[in-house]
Amino acid sequence: MIRRYCAALLMALALLPGSAWAADTTLEPQEKWVLAYANDACRLVRAFGKDDGKVVLVIDQFMPGGNLDLSLIGKRLARFEGSRTSLSTTFGPGLPVARPREALVGTVGPDKTTILMIGPRDLLNRLPDERGSEDVLPITKEQEAAITELRIAGPALRLTLHTGSMAAPLAAMRTCTADLVKTWGLDPAQQEALSKRPEPTTSAANWLNPNDYPKDALFKGASAIVRFRMMVGVDGLPTKCVIQQATQSPEFTKLTCDLLMRRARFTPALDREGKPTASYYTNSVRWLAP
């Protein structure tokens, strides 16, 4: 396992021409997992395949015990029409096939390599609960160890990545996210022992609305994904908003935090004894132009 510090990857959305491509392809890993400490996240990266057929799997995590946020990067992915596509991403083997969900199509880097921003996924291919909680559903270390592949399927893509056992990389990720919590001024052990995490008092989906869309961005058809962290005080009020990761759309980042600081309200976290305590809340906003 290689550990190194890097800044969070910034991704630029773009419309990509493409044609149908649905041949079954299996790729083997070409290097070890890389664990990167980003500015406000932890990232696992591994390359599969060779040359122009290479695909890079990026797994981000923004809090301990949070969802795994997936992205795929590679020239061979430039087969999609439009800026969105439907994909099923199934960890396995031997697990139920995941339901298709929307992914965003874009480019990254000076050579505009295609990126599929798949978003949060569960290792056992389960759907998140209706509250939109960032906490993953329960999973054991034995179940993590049994996962050795990731299958991605869509109208223009059928791809299997042989990841090898996920036990060691996910154990390293847990160490990284615990270190993150320390940088936020909190005790990781105390946060892990909370009897209740901060919860929105109203649906998080109502914190932002279509009227908030920046007019210039709407006119240009610009879209963005903004991942944020809010520090929540003992009274349930947000005390700070931090952008953990965002696409290259600066008009959305400050606006997102400004609106959330005004509108987001929580019931506070409770410690092991049931007393209100400071904690944090993470989530993401997808600003999608019609």
Q: Among the listed ranges 70-74, 179-183, 201-205, which one has the minimum average pLDDT value?
A: 201-205
Q: Among the listed ranges 67-76, 191-200, 210-219, 228-237, which one has the minimum average pLDDT value?
A: 210-219
CA of 155: how far to CAs of 27, 100, 121, 290, in Å?
Answer: 19, 11, 19, 22
Q: State pLDDT tens for residues 119-129.
A: 999 899 987 65
- HSE, side-chain direction, 13 A CA sphere, residue 288: 12
Question: Tell me, which fold does domain 188-287 have in CATH?
Answer: 3.30.1150
Q: Among the listed ranges 8-12, 181-185, 248-252, which one has the minimum average pLDDT value?
A: 8-12
- Please determine, for residue 249, whether its predicted confidence score (pLDDT) is greater than 90: no
- Please determine, for residue 290, whether its predicted confidence score (pLDDT) is greater than 80: no
- Please determine, for residue 196, whether its predicted confidence score (pLDDT) is greater than 90: yes
User: Which amino acid, 280?
Assistant: Y
Mean pLDDT across 225-239: 95
**What is the reported pLDDT for 135?**
56
In this prediction the pTM is: 0.83
Asked whether 257 and 210 are in contact (CB, 8 A), the reply is no
User: pLDDT band at 6, cuts 50/70/90?
Assistant: very low
pLDDT over 70, % of the chain: 88
- The domain locations on the chain are 2-183, 188-287
Mean pLDDT of the chain: 86
Task: Please name which of 84, 161, 159 lies closest in space to residue 115, comparing C-alpha atoms.
Answer: 84
CA of 83: how far to CAs of 103, 116, 222, in Å?
Answer: 9, 10, 11
**What is the reported pLDDT for 2?**
35
Q: State pLDDT tens for residues 134-170.
A: 555 778 999 999 999 999 998 888 999 999 999 999 9
